Chains A and B, each alone.
Chain A
């Protein structure tokens, strides 16, 4: 738009005869660049790691099994061996709508029997929060014993009777070494990365505004 009423004259300072010039602190600019570029890179890497690593990982899988259907016959227990006491996580393979999946997770219970005969019940409805990926959701975590451990899972009644049909079929599960958060380490890059970008914007603005000094 060329407004015939207005003459554009450039910057108010810094022209011929101006006694003021704008100076910018290169360190502030560098800090802004590091925060914004570094934060963006960290957030990107964090997101990629989350996508790739979240959920059970083949290298950590101890055993696979099948969750018995509600009111159905039991499935054979899955047996795995650990050299000592180790943290293990049970992942249910379940996709679908989140509310359906939540019901299925809450309606799953596993019994872990260690070599020394001690048992632990892992209930999907009693975990603090279920970590969920596209196809997997945690039932819970427990500590295995040294030697052979057997785990058996089945769907148990949960929620309204009319909605229990979704529990009346078998589903595969995975026992994985480690805790549910092991695949979530990308968060340590994602959130600080976002924080760095948010902090970098005002620093960049401060750098861009500069300081007025005598020419």
Chain B
């Protein structure tokens, strides 16, 4: 009997050890924000067991989220938004007040600016969707910037939907591009920039299921490294972002306006540099690409949408002014400028500086102050790059800056983190969800079952579930299992 008991105790101990190991392995896989939430709940459980009353514990809703402070409390429902003055509708009054608030923020930011920094100018141009890249390449020629990649931080499509009420896709519509550069004086015209586009649907890099999917910039920087093209010879690495109106794509068959990335453009000066990039793209595919950017390069991604929820709650409207949280930047361009100026990045070291999207992002979210209401209408007409005013829906989820690292940028990033956490009360690198694991593709049996299900749904005339699977970019299908 005693032997049996010992055997049972030993088995239970073994099972406990296996459980502990499995739990530790799961915890090790958590992202920093998930780990913070996990540790918070562990501590909360311990405090509750120790008899600490609930009202004395930290609110769990602010654990592991981007926005902290008063803005975070309002956005995450810890408390109601304080009743402030009525938002300004008159454009002139709005602009005047916005500039006053901006001046105050600039004064706060001045203490964090890099001692050595370069001018930051953001030029916005209008293009037609179908020919946008060619038009931007031509603009870089007429502005002379195509011959001075060392003066360009980056260029990218503005992720706003202009004229959301118009019919059809963006091909015939207005699409704006931002060119971020440091040229103060006019430059002589030059030849147009050369553009190579890497299609995200193509298999470029080898990944196994469970491996991290590459970020657009990871692949683009790898191609440039293979071509021997440095940041001083790169005009821009820009995600190819499209915004599509899709009927019935949302939950319960609602319409969506999806911003999604379908590739990445590499803009370089024409000639030898362009030829080297094109030759690098001819490398037999798929090739091996380590996770993350190449050695010595930084791809820094910051949250914008989390801040926009506080300062620009309805996409079709202007940001709220007077701002309920005047310490927060009002536009993604303001945050991008802050980053470049605080880190003190030299445009000659920069590959990309863009406000953009990563995963599929529904612009129909945040289109009304009323919960559950999704609409494309409403809001005033706002200025566009061509000088006309149109209705527009503000997009932009992340801010991406890619550059060659330098010890002074390490200090600059530390300074920016202090600025973000102290002045903005935000953890801008939280919950980014970058480089998600590559899913396992369905096997033959699963594919057959899916087809049988499709046929059944067709004949039963029952609306099936919407297949919202989006293949990871540049690495689908994965190699091996």
Q: Are chains A and B native binding partners rather than an unrelated pairing?
A: yes
Give the complex CA separation of A212 and B141 in angstroms.
Answer: 15
Smallest Cβ-Cβ distance to B384: which chain A residue: A8
Q: A18-B138, A209-B172 are in contact. Are A6 and B124 (CB under 8 A)?
A: yes
Q: Which residues 163-188 in B have Cβ within 8 Å of A in the complex?
A: 167-169, 171-173, 177-178
Is A19 within 8 A of B138, CB to CB? yes
B135 near A12: Cβ-Cβ < 8 Å:
yes
**Pairwise interchain contact B386-A205, C-beta atoms closer than 8 A:** no
> A8 to B318, alpha carbons, bound, how many Å?
17
A195 to B436, CA, bound (A): 44
Is the beta-carbon distance between B168 and A12 smaller than 8 angstroms? Answer: no
Given the interface pairs A1-B94, A4-B102, A206-B172, the reply to whether A9 lies near B383 with Cβ below 8 Å is: no
Contact status A12-B331, CB under 8 Å: no
B188, closest chain A residue (CB): A17
Interface residues of A, dominant DSSP: mixed
Is A208 within 8 A of B124, CB to CB? no
Q: Are the C-beta atoms of B331 and A3 separated by less than 8 Å?
A: yes
B: contact size bracket? 35 or more
Partner of B141, one of A1, A9, A19, A209: A19
B contact residues around A13 at 8 Å (CB)? 127, 135, 138-139
Closest CB in chain A relative to B115 CB, distance in Å: 22
Chain B residues contacting A8 (CB-CB under 8 Å) are 124, 383-387
The residues of A that contact B333 with a CB separation of less than 8 Å are 3, 5-6
A17-B142, A17-B189, A201-B168 known; A10 and B126 CB under 8 Å?
A: yes
Which residues on the B side are within 8 Å of A58 (C-beta)?
A: none
B30 at the interface (CB under 8 A from A): no
Residues of A within 8 A of B (CB): 1-13, 15-20, 22, 201-202, 204-210, 212
- Please tell me which one of the listed residues B94, B99, B319, B382 contacts residue A4 in the complex, with CB atoms under 8 A apart: B99
User: Which of B126, B169, B173, B384 contacts A12 (CB under 8 A)?
Assistant: B126
Pairwise interchain contact A205-B91, C-beta atoms closer than 8 A? no
Interface string of B119-139 (1 = CB under 8 A from A): 001111111111100111011
Q: Does B337 contact A (CB under 8 A)?
A: yes
Closest 7 CB pairs of A and B: A205-B172, A12-B139, A12-B125, A12-B135, A5-B333, A209-B172, A208-B172
Known: A3-B331, A6-B124, A209-B171. A11 touches B386 (CB 8 A): yes
Contacts of B387 in A (CB 8 A): 8, 10
For B99, list chain A residues within 8 Å (CB). Answer: 4
Partner of B135, one of A202, A208, A212: A212
A21 to B469, CA, bound (A): 40
Q: Which of B135-168 contact A (CB under 8 A)?
A: 135-136, 138-139, 141-142, 167-168
Residue B283 interfacial (CB < 8 Å) = no
Q: Complex: how many Å from CA A201 to CA B172?
A: 10
Instruction: Name B127's contact: one of A1, A12, A17, A207 (CB within 8 Å).
Output: A12
Not counting A10-B125, A201-B168, A209-B130, a sample of 6 additional A-B residue pairs whose C-beta atoms are within 8 angstroms of each other reads A2-B91, A6-B124, A9-B125, A10-B126, A19-B192, A206-B172
Contact of B91 among A1, A3, A19, A207 (CB under 8 A): A1
Residue B457 is within 8 A (CB to CB) of chain A in the complex: no
| CB closest chain-A residue, reference B140 | A12
**Closest chain A residue to B135, Cβ basis:** A12
Q: Which chain A positions have C-beta within 8 A of B385? A: 8-11
Q: State A209–B128 Cα separation when bound (angstroms).
A: 6
Q: Is the CB of B124 within 8 A of A7?
A: yes
**In contact, A1 and B126 (Cβ under 8 angstroms):** no
